[in-house]
Amino acid sequence: MALHVDIFTLFPEMFEGPLTESILKRAQEMGALSIGLHDIRDYTTDRHHTADDTPYGGGGGMVMKVKPLVAAIEAVVPPGEGVPVILLSPQGRVFTQAVAQELAGYGRLALVCGHYEGVDERVRELVITDEISIGDYVLTGGELAAMVVVDAVARLLPGVLGDPDAPDKDSHAAGLLEHPHYTRPPQYRGLEVPEVLLSGHAARIDEWRRRESIRRTWQRRPDLLLDAPLTEADREFLYTLAEEEIKRREEATDDEP
């Protein structure tokens, strides 16, 4: 199914580069993805086109005004159709591949990019239906976060990635880090491509890749193993990794003076 994303921002020009290059460009050309960019300032009604104001209660900083934001969203997003209206903010639920998959199931989305200290709380109460954070760090605005969301969701839309058998679309590899990859030449500065990959033995290659995925995940992101769908053979390999690690630690302790 195709996806339409409406983006509300004070800086629509920021989106031009990322959306008009590479895969996101192709996704739009092939009709899988369409994007509406909406300048919140176009919905101001005062002489100076004021989109932000000082906070009630003081304390400094600026807050995005309720009227232009609500007017913009209500002018563009059809009411009562269940279109998610998502605010990008550090206070949102954390964006993961599972959230990207969830969003890729909609036909239409709206992304709202805040700036400064954020938005008047009544924007949330009136029009926001969901709030997403792309991670626990502070950006200067929601625009880059919105682009991350569009990028991660777009590549999940049918037909956008050429190969429907792309390795990470395979549920078998879901939730694990990728195994190492190699391409020609077979030797470079004394570094060799693992023999098994040159063997042409498909079953042994699959097993090697699976084990290297598990090894990497164990070394770098052991938290992911809690949710990854693992076979009994995967678990046995994990036990050998754990046993090797215990041996290494015992040897290190034996070496102590």
Which residue matches tokens 């998610």?
84
Region 52-91 residues binding ligand 4GX, contact defined as CB under 6 A? 87-90
Cis peptide before 185 (omega within 30 of 0): yes
Catalytically annotated residue among 21, 117, 227, 243: 117
Region 198-237 residues binding ligand 4GX, contact defined as CB under 6 A? none
Q: Give the residue closest to ligand 4GX by C-beta.
A: 114
Encoded one letter per residue, x for contact with ligand 4GX by CB under 6 A and - for no contact, window 144-183 reads -x--------------------------------------
Nearest Cα residue to 150 out of 41, 25, 29: 25
The binder of ligand 4GX chosen from 36, 61, 105, 135 (CB under 6 A):
135
The binder of ligand 4GX chosen from 43, 73, 114, 197 (CB under 6 A):
114
Phi-psi region at 135: left, alpha or beta (left = phi > 0; alpha = psi -120 to 50):
left
DSSP type of residue 175: T
Helix ranges, the chain (H): 16-19, 22-29, 66-76, 97-104, 121-126, 143-154, 195-198, 202-220, 232-254
DSSP type of residue 190: T
The binder of ligand 4GX chosen from 5, 14, 24, 134 (CB under 6 A):
134
Number of residues that bind ligand 4GX (CB under 6 A): 17
Residue 165 appears among annotated catalytic residues: no
The residues of the shown chain that bind ligand 4GX, judged by CB under 6 A, are 87-90, 114-115, 118-119, 133-135, 137-139, 141-142, 145
